[in-house]
Structure 1
Amino acid sequence: MLTRPLKDIDRPLAGHDDPDGKNAATSGFGDIVIAILIGIFCFAAYNANMRAIPAGDTYGARYMPFSILRNHSVVLDPILDIIAQGRIPPALGEDTSAFWITHARGPHYVSTYPIALPIVIAPLYIPAVTYLDARGWDPHLVDQVARVMEKLVASLIAVASVALLYLLLRRRAPSGTATLLSLVYAFGTTTWVISSQALWAHGPAQLLVVATMLLLTGPRIESPARLRVVMAGFLCALIAANRPPDAILATALGLYGLRWAGPRRLLFVAAGLVPVALTVAYNLMVVGHIAGAYALFVRPHDYNDDILGGIAGLLVSPTRGLFVFSPFLLFIPFLFPLAMRGRAMRDLTLLMAGAIVLQIVLYAMVDWRQGMAWGPRWLGDGLPMLIWMLPPIVAALSRPGCMLFGMACGVAILIQAVGAFWYVGAADAGMGLGERGPDRMRPMWRPENAPFVAELRHPPAAFDLLRRLQGNIDQIEVVAEESGGAERLIDAAGWALVDSRSPTDAMILVDGRSVAGTGTFFTRPDVVQTLGETSPAGWRMRFPVGALAPGRHELAVLVRADPGGEPRLLRQLSFDLPADSPAWRQDQQFQRSADLARQRLAEHQRPEGYWLTAFTGVPRFEAPQDEMNTYLNAVMLDIAGPAATGTPLADVLARTRRFLAEQIEADGLVRYHGRPDTPTIGTLGCAITPDSDDTALVWRVAPGASGRDRLAAALETIGRFRREDGLYRTWLAERAQYRCLDPGRDPNPADIGIQMHILLLLAQENPPAARALCEALTTRTADDDLWVYYADAPPIVILRLAELQQAGCPLHPPPSRLRTDVPGQEIWVQAAEALSRIRTGAGSCLETNRLLERLATEDFAAVSRMPPLLYHNDLTASVRRFYWSEDIGYALWLRLYYERQRIGWAAQDCGEEGR
């Protein structure tokens, strides 16, 4: 058994379990001495690794205290360059890699994160500011001092929370137990690797929680002292001001505090309103949103639909699980009734337990991967509450239980030690933290991605906290390619030293985006002569101008002192990129966009050779889901095929062609979701009834090695579903044999798009039948009952009209049928019309270039934000479906670009004449 017999458990905890709370004592001198000694020990241990473990989230708290003291400002404008660390601050409403910076109301920039932390710690920076005033505010020196201050202040905050936690635990446990649990909290939780190593908001959150609990659990008296009530109310509210998600924890403590304050509860509330009012005032007057910059930073992909999976991930995943990184905490849920001992603390314990559970559920509703960080970072704020619940549990443990608890504590400390001395972010690379697909959480469950496993694959991290950085950017020039090519290059050169030796590597950012890097350094005679430094210090990097527009740009160089170390800003300079001829410049932009479009198509293609289709329940691209179908992949071959010749995309499309050929069944028919034995059936599709549309599409673009007998059988089957009016039905089965279908008013319609696809196949295989279908279709293009799947999605029909004209069957649907009311789709109608005009010899150079520019802007932002709507189901069906494809958007762009190059428009300036 893990616990002692029940009769022993029910006994008081050696005078420290006070059922009524009447004897809860303030800490004696001996306890204060022990707390100080624990703090000194923790401070030494926290700084033993001689490095910080920061992230972009901590840059605001690292640098803002300097600006608060020197510039008397809480906006980032005076320190924008150093806090951006080579990245470009975002424009209003936009994102950049400098996610820790937000464009606020007016011209100002603010920290994305609450400013309570930098304001509170600013007084601790006074010695550092005084030192810099005396030595000079050289950017390298400022950065070095800021890094040291971040580590010292973070470790001091963590030390304070440990010391106060010991005093708090003494109210529930003997000195030995309190010491043990305090040290386990200090070294067996993320207090070590997160709170003590950088200025995350989690360290102050823990300190505020402990301090508030210390005030609320003191000796019970009828009317607590005013100062104590004011402090408790102020600190309780400051918990939420410091980190908004902790408002849940603050609420639990606040509810208990209202009862604890007794007749002075109004004073308790008034004190709490002070940080709340200041925070709201800052949010409204500076940020421009009552919820602060946090609210401006949230994006739809930050949410998580699988709440149960999120809870499991937060608690037991090998990469972020609280009970994995601190397994001793498992004793709390398994032995929670023991934590309820003592009537005085029962209500507080229940409130805190409820708050922690609620916070876990809240975090499970968002992307619980938590960015680049060590372990269960988000749950660190509630650790003092969890540790508070342990004393009665530990007191009740039997000898085997104590041994098991001790082993769990030892494992937790070893895990955190790996983080303190090894963690450099290598584990995060395998977690796919930037992925947004449906399987984005899968890497988080792989044991090999556990940080305490993955980080041990490399040597311990270097002691780089005091490294001194020197260097400069000496040259930024725009030069012609040495081979004589048309591409221009940017040639950047300079030097860098770290503690009089060569850095590990250096990389260049232009406008915040990484463009080049090197690990090669050479001797610079001028550096040797001037500084007496003989280590190779020179670096030189050349990179293509690429998509950079003429004008002013920011070039920054970041260097790493040691492998896995934090990139540090060497210098940041502005440079002007001179304009080239408009036609040349445009062509360069289009070439880059074409490479990007091909790259994305290759990345999005599944290993089996297909692309997924997104579908929604409304004619808006909101909350899309994915499916696999043969239709999109056949259309992809149709559109992108000509544009793939001589490019890497040819191999990509070859895989698609093989995949589609494999979907042709023995009877020659093809199903929308592929063969019934396709692995995607049941997850990304179902074994649906074969149809004439996909059969015609696949046979035309990917016949593969299938024999002519299969094609003949397929055409015969399609012919059996030819109506008396000469048009062909969709589904190649009788109604009683339908599978996985939700038909509309007409259970087997003859859609205009399907007629076009069948006609194109018949034009190859049976010209007389094609002519008959053309005659039947010519007089029917305005009929409502033919516009089943393309009524709100005309681009595919527009593209097919040009092909049919080339095949000898010109059709003229009413112009109103070739328009759309779906928001954001007009540009895709224009793209389809432009491509159709080019194919019929009526294209416009100017129109094509404008469309290519609009679609490729900001790396195809328009394509990903509002992809083309390809088709929809029968809108008279019980459930509506609208089908979209970002990848078809890239294919359409590439096809337009290909036709532009083929015609020769790339070699001329279109001007304004339109042709």
Structure 2
Amino acid sequence: MATAAITAHVHSQAISTPAFRRIRARDVAIALLLGLLCLLVYNANMRSITAADSYAARYLPFSIWQNHSLTLNPILTTVAQGRKPPATPEKDGTAHWILKVGGDRYVSKFPIAVPVILSPFYLPAVIYLNHHGADPLLFDQVARIMEKLCASSLAAVSVGLLYLLLRRRTDEGLAAILSLLYAFGTTTWVISSQALWMHGLAQLLVVATMLLLTGPGTALRVVLAGLLCALIAANRQPDTILAAGLGIYGLWWAGRMRPFFVLSGMVPVALTLAYNLMIVGNIAGAYALHVRPGDFNHDIVGGIAGLLVSPTRGLFVYSPFLLFVPIFCRRVVLERSGRGLTIAIGCAMIVQVSFYAMIDWRQGISWGPRWLTDMLPMLMWMLPPVVKALSRNGRVAFGLASLVAISIQTIGAFWYTGIADTPIVTAHGPGRMRPAWDIHNAAFVAELSHPHVQADLIVDLDGNIDAVNVLPVGQGTGGGAGRQLEVLGWALTNSHSPSDVAVLIDGQWGAATREFFARTDVEKAMGHASPAGWRVTIPIDQVGPGEHLLAVLVRATEGGEPRLMKQTSFVLAPHNEALEHVTDLPSAGRRARQILASHQQAGGYWLTSYTSATRFEQPRQEMNTYLNAVMLDVAGPVAEAAGASDMLARARQFLAAQIEPSGLVRYHGRPDAPTIGTLGCAITPDSDDTALAWRVAPSEKSELLQPALAMITQFRRPDGLYKTWLAPRDNYQCLDPGRDANPADIGIQMHIFLFLEQVDKPAARSLCDALSKKAGDDDIWVYYAGAPLMISLRLAELEKAGCLPQLPRAQLRTDIPGQEIWLRAADQLGQLESHAGSYATYRRTAELLTDIAADDFSLMSHTPPLLYHNDLTATVKRFYWSQDFGYALWLRLYFENERMLSTLPCGSGGPEQKCGEK
């Protein structure tokens, strides 16, 4: 139907002279000036805004010249950037942008039109590197500079060509204004000009094809138009839709020369198919091998809305002046000049948006509406008749919308780091799209929370990995820690200390440091006095024996691009140093401490396991602040006796660091933590974890306490209880709330009471009174209705503080198999702390400890303590367990029992009891 409309219109055009203006020398001069201006502005931030999508395009042109290869094999280490390529075609590596295909070939997951077309422009850089040697750090530096220069040049040329295209249907002034809007008010700036995404070349090809199609249909133009039109599809498969719209119009425009149009278009198509079949081994290309069911979106209407008006990915949000196109679409279609082309590309854009709506439209970690970048020249083509028809007020509105667009893109160019996208792309489940509709997650809002990113395009990186040592149990950080990997080295960026150094093992995050110390040997060799030495330790008890890849990434500036400094391999022998077997209670205590130390992560935290049912089967892991706070609570009183002081100090330091400038704490820690996206998400701050952290690991910045208290108080209910989430419902992040979107849970009230007891006793008394009135109500048993262990432990602490809420006895029991023994442990601990000790109590406690420690604590492997669960009225049920908490509780009970024994008078155990006997 669309084809018929085009044919009917263009037939009338064939009778008369086309209405398009001819391009003059003056227009070419202005286009050159606009392109030069854009080139300067695009490089003003002196940094790249890149992603894994562009790694192959960054390095492959060098390999084409030097190795005459389109595969990544000769440059695999560099393209992987410290991650691990896939070992087989069926398995993904941590370098997800690389695919392994038949014959041990590694290829880019993305089409290679960009690096192939740009390779001629890399010749000067190749000659430079050949002259200066093959140092990997120099190669990487030159490649990054070339990427930025090529990307910004592609975008700048597309601006100049767009001006020439617009001159065919409007005057110089409006064409120049719209060209500048395209340059600085759209993702042309933050996406296309900053890295070698496929979008920059796509825009250039689209605008060049349109420029040809609006000119006279000479033989040369027809051949070029067919070639460029097909290249649009070869460059990026989804743009086949846009190429089809241009191609339909081009077939009419070419007239009798349409065979030349078709034949020239077959050249890039044939070359692409040859690459796909001969190298990739799949006619559809490498990307088709990577499609998963989770990549699709079944809410088409929601997808269209997300692509166009969502605050994080909406085209009309990031470039609001483009909204004038659909609003005045009637005026666009009625414009006689180029109506056939307008209808063709309009239909193509509608189809492409609909296609994208069927996919996960969050678009990964990238700035704004990246996917719709390629159609921007088409939208700009439609604007001249709209702007001309605007009233005075309409032009004012258009001007304001344009200023907003330029302001938003400016934020992206100078502030964007990608951190703001983490809560968007890490969300899962039925509500996974919800964070994309949160205005607080919009990059132009969230990224302003930090200073603008300093220039880091030209970085002279020096450094080395000096030693990789496997530390035996007890010799690593924390004293009693399990086996750790110690990595020593030095790094300098532009002769100064870097922002940070990160170490990866097999492409997975290991640890990082921001602390650097003086290295006299480096100072003498390099002639610079900046601290360059660094040391990182990584727990490796979970790393299997054999050879492993170790990579060091360095960032020159905060928020800058990580650079691969060096990588090496190390061999990990089988762990012959077995854990001590349990033969008696003292040996059980040593084993428990040893396991706790080995489980503690390099950052000082322990991980929590969770399941989807009340059975400890197929557990998954996450990092949360809750477990680490209660670990400090439980093990803290016996830390010295248990030999756990060092590890608890590290946990306390970690927990204190999770207190944000607002004074609040999030369940998964700070949103910029390295664990976000893998072991948690950027969740909304909550009163529970804020109270827990401040109670056991208060921040050194005491001025943050009052804002935290004020925020918690702000969410106090009229009945005196405190809500969980410290944000309005519309601002929730990474949450799947239940029937009550913001409940006041009994366990949380206990934690807040214990916190207030330290900092605001009157408020604590008020909360105790409120809790006593509501303790039996079902609506406050949200997270502990089937997991009473923590409640039982907290009751003893509340009693010490003089708060005695009467809880229903039924709520303190559980029917979950294996949990009764942990409730007995909590009761026994309460008896020990009641100062009513006896030898009988000691013997009962020792028997319980023996039962838990039996068979080397085998109980932990199948029934560890169940600490809590999520709101069971939510769409997904989760139950949270911790073996480490079980070991900590065992140590607490054991050493409290020994302490009680030491206070008992001789002979109180009966006539057979002798002084000193147990």
Give the TM-score of the pair, scaled to structure 2: 0.66
Contact 1:546 1:592 in 2 (8 A): no
Contact 1:18 1:342 in 2 (8 A): no
Alignment correspondent of 1:305:
298
Contact 1:19 1:342 in 2 (8 A): no
Q: 1:169 to 1:548 in 2, by over 3 A?
A: same
Q: 1:21 to 1:163 in 2, by over 3 A?
A: farther
Give 1:444 deviation, angstroms.
1.8
Q: 1:345 to 1:592 in 2, by over 3 A?
A: farther
Contact 1:18 1:344 in 2 (8 A): no
Alignment correspondent of 1:29:
25
Give 1:590 deviation, angstroms.
9.7
1:151 paired to 2:148: yes
Match of 1:111 among 108, 113, 120: 108
Alignment correspondent of 2:392:
399
Cα distance in 1 between the residues matched to 2:482 and 2:268: 56
Give 1:582 deviation, angstroms.
8.6
1:231 paired to 2:197: no
Give 1:102 deviation, angstroms.
1.2
Deviations 1:122-173 (A, max 9, x none): 0110000000000011011111101100000001100111111111111111
Q: 1:258 to 1:592 in 2, by over 3 A?
A: farther
Alignment correspondent of 2:189:
192
Alignment correspondent of 2:466:
474
Match of 2:66 among 47, 67, 70: 70
Give 1:636 deviation, angstroms.
6.9
Alignment correspondent of 1:813:
none
Cα distance in 1 between the residues matched to 2:54 and 2:809: 68
Alignment correspondent of 2:568:
573
Q: 1:884 to 1:196 in 2, by over 3 A?
A: closer
Match of 2:202 among 197, 200, 205: 205
Alignment correspondent of 1:424:
417
Contact 2:185 2:406 in 1 (8 A): yes
Secondary structure of the residue that 1:106 maps to in structure 2?
A: helix
Alignment correspondent of 1:216:
213
1:408 paired to 2:401: yes
Secondary structure of the residue that 2:542 maps to in structure 1?
A: coil
Deviations 1:272-328 (A, max 9, x none): 222112112212221222221211222222222222222111111111111111110
Contact 1:169 1:388 in 2 (8 A): yes
Secondary structure of the residue that 1:572 maps to in structure 2?
A: strand
Alignment correspondent of 2:801:
none
1:339 paired to 2:332: yes
Q: Which amino acid aligns with 2:247?
A: G
1:286 paired to 2:279: yes
Alignment correspondent of 2:455:
463
Is the deviation greater in 571-580 or in 109-118?
A: 571-580
Cα distance in 1 between the residues matched to 2:236 and 2:304: 20
Cα distance in 2 between the residues matched to 1:700 and 1:545: 32
Contact 1:253 1:351 in 2 (8 A): yes
Cα distance in 2 between the residues matched to 1:531 and 1:187: 42
Alignment correspondent of 1:13:
none
Deviations 1:642-674 (A, max 9, x none): xx999969999xx9xxxxxxxxxxxxxxxxxxx
Give 1:583 deviation, angstroms.
5.7
Cα distance in 2 between the residues matched to 1:645 and 1:30: 69
Deviations 1:497-526 (A, max 9, x none): 111111111111111011111111111111
Give 1:438 deviation, angstroms.
2.3
Alignment correspondent of 1:489:
484
Q: Could you say what the CA RMSD is over the residues aligned between the two structures, in angstroms?
A: 4.8
Unaligned runs of 5+ in 1: 1-16, 605-610, 614-631, 656-677, 684-696, 712-756, 762-795, 804-839, 853-882, 900-915
Cα distance in 2 between the residues matched to 1:887 and 1:515: 27
1:511 paired to 2:503: no
Residues matched between the structures, number = 679
Secondary structure of the residue that 1:565 maps to in structure 2?
A: coil
Fraction of identical pairs, as percent: 52
Give 1:699 deviation, angstroms.
9.3
Cα distance in 2 between the residues matched to 1:235 and 1:360: 22
Q: 1:23 to 1:310 in 2, by over 3 A?
A: closer
Secondary structure of the residue that 2:552 maps to in structure 1?
A: strand
Alignment correspondent of 2:312:
319
Deviations 1:387-426 (A, max 9, x none): 0000111111122211211111111111111111222223
Q: Which amino acid aligns with 1:339?
A: V
Contact 2:482 2:595 in 1 (8 A): no
Secondary structure of the residue that 2:571 maps to in structure 1?
A: strand
Q: 1:560 to 1:125 in 2, by over 3 A?
A: same
Alignment correspondent of 1:61:
57
Q: Which amino acid aligns with 1:522?
A: F
Q: 1:120 to 1:546 in 2, by over 3 A?
A: same
Q: Which amino acid aligns with 1:473?
A: I
Cα distance in 1 between the residues matched to 2:182 and 2:323: 14
Secondary structure of the residue that 2:102 maps to in structure 1?
A: coil
Deviations 1:337-369 (A, max 9, x none): 111234452222122112112211221222211
Match of 2:139 among 139, 142, 145: 142
Secondary structure of the residue that 2:510 maps to in structure 1?
A: strand
Give 1:372 deviation, angstroms.
1.4
1:43 paired to 2:39: yes
Cα distance in 2 between the residues matched to 1:69 and 1:699: 65
Alignment correspondent of 1:166:
163
Match of 2:444 among 432, 439, 452: 452
Contact 2:485 2:539 in 1 (8 A): yes
1:89 paired to 2:123: no
Q: Which amino acid aligns with 2:525?
A: T
Alignment correspondent of 2:434:
442
Contact 1:594 1:894 in 2 (8 A): no
Give 1:67 deviation, angstroms.
0.6
Contact 1:464 1:562 in 2 (8 A): yes
Secondary structure of the residue that 1:262 maps to in structure 2?
A: helix
Cα distance in 2 between the residues matched to 1:535 and 1:484: 30
Contact 1:230 1:271 in 2 (8 A): yes
Deviations 1:837-882 (A, max 9, x none): xxx9xx999x999x99xxxxxxxxxxxxxxxxxxxxxxxxxxxxxx
Q: Which amino acid aligns with 1:511?
A: D
Cα distance in 2 between the residues matched to 1:707 and 1:517: 46
Secondary structure of the residue that 2:534 maps to in structure 1?
A: strand
Deviations 1:420-468 (A, max 9, x none): 1222223224x34222222222222222222222222222211211121
Q: Which amino acid aligns with 1:331?
A: F
Match of 2:174 among 177, 183, 188: 177
Contact 1:20 1:342 in 2 (8 A): no
**1:327-726 map, 5 Å:** 327-343=320-336, 345-429=338-422, 431-480=423-472, 481-482=474-475, 485=480, 487-581=482-576, 632=613, 680=738
Give 1:229 deviation, angstroms.
1.6
